[in-house]
Amino acid sequence: MSMTVHDTELRDGLVVTDPRAPAPDPEGVVGEAINAIRFLAIDAVEKAGSGHPGTPMGLAPLAYRLYTRYLRHDPADPAWIDRDRFVLSGGHACMLQYAALHLAGYDLTTADLEQFRQWGSRTPGHPERDATPGIEINTGPLGQGFANAVGMAIAERMLAARFNRPGHSIVDHRTWAIAGEGDMMEGISSEAASLAGRLGLGLGKLTVFFDANHISLEGAADVEFKENVADRFDAYGWHVTTVHSVNDLDALDVAVDEAVRDERPSLVIVHSNIGYGSPVQDTAKAHGAPLGEANVAATRQKLGWPYPPFTIPDAVYAHWSSLVDARAGHHAEWDERFGRYQGAEPALAAELTRVMAGRLPDDWERAPLPAFAAGSKEATRKSAGLVLNAYAETVPELVGGSADVAPSTETQLVKYGDVNTGDWAGRNLHFGVREHAMGALCNGMAAHGGFRPYCATFFSFYDYMREDVRLAALMQLPVVFVFTHDSIALGEDGPTHQPVEHLAGMRAMPGLRTIRPADANESMLAWRAAIAHDGPTCLVLSRQGLPVIDPAALSVAAGASVVAPGDDAAIVATGSEVSLALAARELLAGEGIGARVVSMPCWELFRAQSTVERDAVLPPAMPTLAVEAAAPTGWHEFADDVVGLTRFGASAPGPVVYEKLGFTPENVADHVRRLVR
Amino acid sequence: MSMTVHDTELRDGLVVTDPRAPAPDPEGVVGEAINAIRFLAIDAVEKAGSGHPGTPMGLAPLAYRLYTRYLRHDPADPAWIDRDRFVLSGGHACMLQYAALHLAGYDLTTADLEQFRQWGSRTPGHPERDATPGIEINTGPLGQGFANAVGMAIAERMLAARFNRPGHSIVDHRTWAIAGEGDMMEGISSEAASLAGRLGLGLGKLTVFFDANHISLEGAADVEFKENVADRFDAYGWHVTTVHSVNDLDALDVAVDEAVRDERPSLVIVHSNIGYGSPVQDTAKAHGAPLGEANVAATRQKLGWPYPPFTIPDAVYAHWSSLVDARAGHHAEWDERFGRYQGAEPALAAELTRVMAGRLPDDWERAPLPAFAAGSKEATRKSAGLVLNAYAETVPELVGGSADVAPSTETQLVKYGDVNTGDWAGRNLHFGVREHAMGALCNGMAAHGGFRPYCATFFSFYDYMREDVRLAALMQLPVVFVFTHDSIALGEDGPTHQPVEHLAGMRAMPGLRTIRPADANESMLAWRAAIAHDGPTCLVLSRQGLPVIDPAALSVAAGASVVAPGDDAAIVATGSEVSLALAARELLAGEGIGARVVSMPCWELFRAQSTVERDAVLPPAMPTLAVEAAAPTGWHEFADDVVGLTRFGASAPGPVVYEKLGFTPENVADHVRRLVR
């Protein structure tokens, strides 16, 4: 492990430097420039009556250095494609970033800061990328930002491999993040750190500052967290260095220089003091509530900040802008470089502009799609895999991988290579058995821009990555989440591996499209809809073979379609249950009951149709039965009765489980008979 | 880091010992006793036509040693309370354990093994505690078993602190687990390992074997996983030792001796060869599919196993039983000790018997419950916290904690101490910001027996621990999951912290009770129902104050109750929306519309009522509106229309968000008007 001279050793009682004793604040205008962050945060939290002042106060020197010295950025153009990315993983400390963005000259006014945590403001309680210029990604759920940053760093390397040419280094930026003790305790950050360490050499442009302030919400963090973080990251293959006090700007610079030079991802452990300068410094009281009038006054006194709330001396603004303006030169220099690149590599330059704008190629629909013959049988995981591989040829930004189940989820892009240490030109990522980090990495890649990532695992393990899907939905990131082995029909692996309640929860999520195709052709339409969509989509696919239905009858875009006619009743189903419904329809036809079968692969798209269109598919007066090998929750919106699951599955061959739990043509027909009688 | 002489160094190319080259198999009957495990696994997977033969083949020597030498257990009494606990975290390798249980003399016959992965068998595709004698906990979702084992080890220490007395060491057993590379990649195991390291000294009775077989489903594990696991666990504060080949039984014994002596939790890294002895040894092909006839024949040849499928020589059975019978003496010796304990400490002995049987104390309902005056206002997180503290006095097995949000979730047991290094007498656990491990630890404690654990976090972060709740539901473990800050009304923290879709997914889960109380009195009934229930319960509680309703009108046991009469329409609501419904009812009363208000804290308990009872609360012909500050998914089962949320929340003061998103008496009344016209 590589260390600076500022190392402290916190384990086994060997405290070389007391982490409670910060270095003194820098003097003069630099000190004021740092205090400006602290007091903007203090004042905003005070005005809002809620928020987290402690970390902004502690980390103000780091934010100052980041925005004035470490980050290559341009406040006038927060969308500059080669800007450095910065992620504040502990999003509750967002006033740290809002204050720095304001002082650095981003379009974020004092009035905006005064609206902290108010309806419709540009300064919400946790960072939101659509609300605030200079925010790269929404953070708040701990650990996510750490993993997002790893995803961004991977995206940068992969984009560089695609677009840089000898003499033309067009994609060449760094990713920075700040993570706290809470971030480090979450398993997702361990997963992401292990994966980043695995990719090792080449991810050297990733620098994570670990804010070691030794305080958590329940008090001293070491009640909960006593591990040696430095050694842990060293074990992952990271470069690790430590700064004994965030107030020591020179030490910060030394550590960052070292991190920048190292070819491994770097963790810079920065000891800080939560609530720095206030009477509640180094206590949990400084964490998540306003300081209160008396403490604010005492802090103003102690830090020598006589100015009224939200008031920053002109000299401080001038100091910030002099430093930031100097850095904006990087952008001008890059523009020049990009101009030369456009001259030498016009097609590549246009392509880079396209992918960074998130526009699909004009001819993306001309993919060499497979044909699936009616009457044949194919698992939708398999057909979807073929379709994915076809679209991969016309949509180069489609990249992805699985949580160690690529062979089972059929998500390998067979014509393309792997992403691997020092080799970033591939399109297949091996995420390992790390579902939670996988989703967050994909979110980070999508937020970075340049890619439409997908990721895959078994549907049951959606439970390990719910927060990822939620954040993709909240941010409307174009990530495709592929979930295979989608029901009890997966069979022998048993109830831990058999999803039951997952569809219901997924469909309840705002901003998310869930598509469960009935056959190979619907799986083709499903991938098409997913790629065309500028938000997240979940594809829910079968393990077992499903009969291929006449493609003319199908629609994913409309959310549902009549796949077999009938006017006495309707059986609405999804996925594998559509062919079950067709079999039940046959039984009923023999008794003179005309049951239509409706495949409804996507509730959200069906709801988006007009009433007329919806009523044509599912006439309101028609007795309607829903059939799905999942919890019935939600189906009463569309149906009068449901054949579903109100218990967990069981370990046995798929057809046995399916039959034992009522998924037989007879049982479905029986439910229809009861409805029409 | 402490190491044995068998260490290999896998990083940086410094391979001291080739992990591919296993030690030779032990000779004679010991070799046959080990091969018996291998071939029972091979034959069972072959007969089932699916399963995972590779790990049982690789780890057979470890399972042999565990069941014949390391574990203190009694096949004749798998429920012996002081038995050692063993958890196979990679549950897909369950034939390893089934074979060992069979050979060790548990009530698991050859016929049972022949039914591997069949409907209703005692040998399902992943371990299930209710299916098989000798299985402690269901595993399969990777990493969970590792965390469960940590929970069991904690339970043992806490139980020992409560029940052992000088001269009477009645609770004194070890916890063993086997975890694979997949388990190690999952974040949940990192969280659990960090927490176990934090508790450090005193958790020395926990030994985890890490099966380093270097193969994952996608091929060589080092494509995905290249970290130094030894150093990582050392950083957590664990004792770590390495065995260069699992075939070297002496080396295993040395490592285990060392682990047993060390006061820290131990990780024994065991290098093994997946599919040992077969032509596909050391390849992913041996992982998750039958070997196939030719490979099975070749393996029989290579390992010298001429016997037909499922046929074990008598000498092998005799060898196993001679060793296991000797170990059962521990049970007899313990019975004697327990007899002396009963004599010296009859009350304690009875109490231990009671808690291990999972029976509540006779007088548990005599808790000093608080009184909540109608007209006052109290957040349900607060009232529930007071109730929890009251029940803590009459239910000593109630122990728990939160993911670093005890002050916010109000779940601290204020009269009782913390569980801490070397101090296991407390009742408050500090789980740290580790939701996923928290739930799994509680599951492990509940499965161990002796406790009714609860754990708490913000409702939005249910997403980090869905799998835990699912496994508790699958196993019907008596764990109470407390989720506070239950809606958009939490306000300023914004959409990442505001649950929307969580209730829908929770209610869709089989075997789970979700209770969202409307006020302080319902929160009292909710805790009562949760404690009385022998399965898992989720309590969903408000951050904000809610008016106290007349307790006479309330019922949690019935799932729903009429809290205000009316015959023109019904407004059914939960939690904070019940008082909103009451306000809307007032508006409607002024217009001559009599709307009854129904509080429905628990769908599952309401569904369990008779039709007559349900119809009395919600008459089928009565126009019914549901109101809940959450996704409307599922409410159509009970209501004709829903005032719910089909978007994410926003950062602003709670009352503002609530109002902006339609949760006003006016809007609710408006929806009722439309229904009754």
Q: Which amino acid is at B283?
A: T
| In chain B, % of residues over pLDDT 90 | 90
Residues of B in contact with A496 (CB under 8 A): 91, 126, 138-141, 471, 474
Query: Would you say residue B553 has pLDDT above 60?
Result: yes
Q: Which residue of B has its CA nearest to A502?
A: B505
Question: Among candidates A252, A140, A272, A139, which has minimal Cα distance to A211?
Answer: A272
Strand partners, A477: none
Q: Which residues of B are catalytic?
A: 435
Question: Among candidates B208, B274, B218, which has minimal Cα distance to B52?
Answer: B274
| Cβ contact B595:B585 at 8 Å | yes
Report phi then psi at A645, rounded to 5.
-125, 125
Q: How confident is the model at residue A219 (pLDDT cuts 50, 70, 90)?
A: low
Q: Which run of H or E residues covers position A539?
A: strand A537-540
Catalytic residue check, A435? yes
| In chain B, % of residues over pLDDT 70 | 95
Q: Which pLDDT belongs to residue B422?
A: 76
Residues of A in contact with B197 (CB under 8 A): 226-227
- Give alpha helix (H) positions in B590-664: 603-607, 611-617, 654-660
Write down the residue that tokens 């296993």 correspond to.
Answer: B22
| Cβ contact B482:B455 at 8 Å | yes
- What is d(CA A485, CA B631) in angstroms, rounded to the nearest whole number? 26
Residues of A in contact with B423 (CB under 8 A): none
DSSP single-letter state for residue A24: P
Catalytic residue, from A435, A467, A522, A628: name it. Answer: A435
- Reduced 3-state DSSP string for A198-245: HHCCCCCCEEEEEEECCEECCEEHHHCCCCCHHHHHHHHCCEEEEECC
Among the partner-chain residues A198, A216, A631, the one whose CB lies closest to the CB of B508 is: A631
Question: Among candidates B41, B33, B42, B209, which has minimal Cα distance to B104?
Answer: B33
Q: What is the ipTM of this complex?
A: 0.95
Cβ neighbours for B467, distance < 8 A, ≥ 6 positions apart: A461, A463, A464, B141, B144, B436, B439, B440
Q: Which domains does chain A have, with CATH numbers?
A: 3-330 (3.40.50.970), 364-547 (3.40.50.970), 551-676 (3.40.50.920)
Sheet holding A513-515, edge to edge: A428-430, A398-402, A452-458, A480-484, A537-540, A513-515
Among the partner-chain residues A121, A433, A471, the one whose CB lies closest to the CB of B185 is: A433
- What is d(CA A448, CA A471) in angstroms, rounded to the nearest whole number? 15
Query: Cβ separation of A505 and B501 shorter than 8 Å?
Result: yes
Q: Which pLDDT belongs to residue A216?
A: 65
Q: Which residue of A has its CA nearest to B119?
A: A652
Q: Which pLDDT belongs to residue A641?
A: 98
Q: How confident is the model at residue B554 (pLDDT cuts 50, 70, 90)?
A: very high
- For residue B91, the distance in angstroms to the closest alpha carbon of chain A comes to 10
Interior angle at CA B167, CA B165 and CA B168, nearest 5: 55
Q: Which run of H or E residues covers position A591?
A: none
Query: Cβ separation of B128 and A495 shorter than 8 Å?
Result: yes
Among the partner-chain residues B48, B407, B648, the one whose CB lies closest to the CB of A492 is: B48
The two structure tokens encoding residue A588: 């009923």
pTM, whole model, 2 decimals?
0.96
Q: Which pLDDT belongs to residue B229?
A: 94
Q: How confident is the model at residue A14 (pLDDT cuts 50, 70, 90)?
A: very low
Over residues B291-341, the pLDDT tens digits come to: 999 999 999 999 999 999 999 999 999 999 999 999 889 999 999 999 999
Compute the mean pLDDT over every residue in chain B, rounded to the nearest whole number: 94
Distance between alpha carbon A129 and the CA centroid of its chain, in Å? 12
| Cβ contact B44:B37 at 8 Å | no
Q: Which pLDDT belongs to residue A222?
A: 65
**Residue among A213, A267, A433, A628 with most chain B CBs within 10 A, to mutate:** A433
Among the partner-chain residues A404, A467, A502, the one whose CB lies closest to the CB of B224 is: A404
Distance between alpha carbon B657 and the CA centroid of its chain, in Å? 35
Q: Which pLDDT belongs to residue B227?
A: 87
Residues of B in contact with A650 (CB under 8 A): 119-120, 124
Interior angle at CA A533, CA A530 and CA A534, nearest 5: 130
Q: Which pLDDT belongs to residue B215?
A: 72
Question: Among candidates A561, A641, A550, A640, which has minimal Cα distance to A605?
Answer: A561
Over residues A647-674, the pLDDT tens digits come to: 999 999 999 999 999 999 999 999 999 9
Residues of B in contact with A473 (CB under 8 A): 648
**Residue among B46, B88, B112, B186 with most chain A CBs within 10 A, to mutate:** B186
Q: Which residue of A has its CA nearest to B410?
A: A218
Mutual orientation of helices A187-199 and A144-163 as an angle, nearest 10°? 20
Q: Which pLDDT belongs to residue A494?
A: 98
The size of the A-B interface in CB pairs under 8 A is 355
**Residue among A98, A211, A218, A467 with most chain B CBs within 10 A, to mutate:** A218
Residues of A in contact with B431 (CB under 8 A): 224
Among the partner-chain residues B225, B463, B509, the one whose CB lies closest to the CB of A470 is: B463
Least confident of A26-35, A281-290, A359-368: A281-290
- Mean pLDDT value of segment A481-499: 98
Compute and round to an integer the Cα radius of gyration of chain B. Answer: 28
DSSP single-letter state for residue A257: H
Residues of B in contact with A140 (CB under 8 A): 493-494, 496-497
**Residue among B410, B436, B496 with most chain A CBs within 10 A, to mutate:** B496
Among the partner-chain residues B226, B433, B656, the one whose CB lies closest to the CB of A119 is: B656
Q: Which pLDDT belongs to residue A217?
A: 65
Over residues B381-410, the pLDDT tens digits come to: 999 999 999 999 999 999 999 999 999 999
Burial class (CB in 10 A: 0-12, 13-18, 19+), A429: buried
DSSP single-letter state for residue B359: P
Over residues A251-291, the pLDDT tens digits come to: 999 999 999 999 999 999 999 999 999 999 999 899 999 99
- For residue A542, the distance in angstroms to the closest alpha carbon of chain B comes to 17
- CA contacts within 13 A on the Cβ side of A282: 8
Compute the mean pLDDT over every residue in chain A, rounded to the nearest whole number: 94
Residues of A in contact with B496 (CB under 8 A): 91, 126, 138-141, 471, 474
Report phi then psi at A136, rounded to 5.
-85, -30
